[in-house]
Each structure stands twice: as structure tokens, then as C-alpha cells.
Amino acid sequence: MTVNHEALPDAAQRVAALLAGLGHDRPVVMLPATGKTSAEAAAGLGCSVAEIAKSIIFRRVADDAPVLVIASGSNRVDEAKVAARVGPLGKADARFVREKTGYAIGGVCPIGHAVAPVMLLDQDLFRYDSLWAAAGHPHAVFNLTPHQLQQMTGAEVADVAAAATPGAAA
């Protein structure tokens, strides 16, 4: 399958070039509707929400470093678990996310950041053979395996998921 990279938005073109440079053989795919949330992306791709590798950015308080947690779309990230590994966390606003990653919220790709983030990879992603991750734009995604994701990012695999609350929706 060939993809016309010129037809992709600028940030997605940049991700496609990064992926090609890494020897990744799967194209960046444009969803007809937004993939800003894991549920929207899963609906557009016909996969489970858990197979969406969502990128969540935090701000480490000590040094303002970006902290990227790549989590299964069905998991809520437990900030206390993340902070225990990387230090106290603060919220990352839209300006911080754009400045540190080079991407807008809803399209943050796990690779190609403006500032190299501290990274953690949700161990639950390894339950799946295939994942989808954002490719720099709210409509752009790419497919890969959990092992490819870890290899591309060098992220530490960790337990980052919040415990499920009885009676809560997944």
C-alpha cells in the first residue's frame, strides 16, 4: 500500500518521514472523523479502545521536563504511579504540549518530539498484537506492535494504569 505523503497534513507528513527513516513498513492513515479520543479512534479503525496507544503528556515539576505516558486507550493513567517513577507531576496545558512535543493535543505522536520526553510505556499494551498510535494530527494514526513501539521510543515499560473502580465505566 502506498501513501501519498503530500496528501497528509504537515505534522503527519513529518511522522510518516520519521517512520520511513526507522524502516517502519506501515503507512500513516487518515481517519475520516477525528481520532482525538481513544474511543473516536477505535470507532474509526474498527478496533478495541484498548488497542489505541494514547500519548499523555505531563510536566515534571522539578525541571519542567515533558513526561510522556503511552497508555492503553482503555486505561486511566494513575498519576501517583507515574510520579513515583519520575518525580512530582504538574498539568501540561496546550501551549506546553505543543512547545515540548511539536504536536497539538489529540495528535501527540509517541516519536519525533521537539524536546526529548521522559517516557513510560503502559505494560498493558503488551496484551495486544496490534496497536494504533497518533501520527501528529487528530485524524492521523499508524499501526504497529507493542514491541515496535518500545523499540521506537526506548520507553520504560511500567504499570501506569489506575485500578478500576467498581461500578465505573471502562
| CATH number of the structural domain spanning residue 20 | 3.90.960.10
- 163 located within any domain: no
- 114 located within any domain: yes
Interval 123-157: pLDDT, tens? 999 999 999 999 999 999 999 999 999 999 999 99
Query: How many whole angstroms separate alpha carbon 29 and alpha carbon 145?
Result: 16
Query: What does the angle CA 38 – CA 147 – CA 39 come to, to the nearest 5 degrees?
Result: 5
- 170 located within any domain: no
Q: Where does the pLDDT of residue 166 fall: very low under 50, low under 70, confident under 90, or very high at 90 and above?
A: low
In three-state secondary structure terms, 166 is coil
The pair phi, psi for residue 147, each rounded to 5°, is -65, -40
- 165 located within any domain: no
- 17 located within any domain: yes
Domain, as residue range, for 68: 5-158
Secondary structure letter of residue 111 according to DSSP: S
Query: How many whole angstroms separate alpha carbon 21 and alpha carbon 126?
Result: 24
Based on the structure, what is the number of domains in the chain? 1
The predicted model scores a pTM of 0.90
Interval 49-104: pLDDT, tens? 999 999 999 999 999 999 999 999 999 999 999 999 999 999 999 999 999 999 99
Q: What is the pLDDT of residue 163?
A: 85
Q: Are 58 and 93 in contact (CB under 8 A)?
A: no
Q: What is the pLDDT of residue 33?
A: 80
Reported as type and span, the H/E element at residue 44 is helix 38-45
- 166 located within any domain: no
- 15 located within any domain: yes
Q: What is the pLDDT of residue 6?
A: 55
